[in-house]
């Protein structure tokens, strides 16, 4: 939860995290390999989005 309050967390990232969490629950419930692959792809996308946003924020705010 604290991670969601970081200054580099955008509404777009938060929305993708919600989608990822819903897809995780669906994949876990259904035990479907295709849904697991979709979840993993989205998880990796969200991780990249967060990393890129954090790096961009820190580049613009080097004192942080």
Domain ranges of the chain: 11-60
Q: In this predicted model, what pLDDT tens digit does every residue of 6-21 receive, in sequence order?
A: 999 999 999 999 999 9
**Are 9 and 46 in contact, with CB atoms under 8 Å apart?**
no
Q: Examine the pLDDT at 5 and tell me if it is beyond 90.
A: no
Rounded distance, CA 58 to CA 60, Å? Answer: 5
Provide the pLDDT confidence category of residue 1 given band limits of 50, 70 and 90: low
Residue 7: both structure tokens together: 């200054």
Q: 30 in helix, strand or coil?
A: helix
CB-based contacts of 6, cutoff 8 Å, min separation 6? 54
In this prediction the pTM is: 0.85
């Amino acid at each position: 939860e604290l991670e969601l309050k970081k200054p580099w967390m955008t509404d777009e990232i938060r929305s993708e995290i919600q989608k990822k969490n819903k897809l995780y629950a669906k994949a876990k419930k259904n035990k479907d390999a295709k849904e697991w692959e979709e979840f993993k792809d989205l998880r990796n996308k969200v991780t990249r989005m967060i990393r890129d946003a954090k790096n961009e924020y820190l580049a613009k705010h080097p004192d942080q």
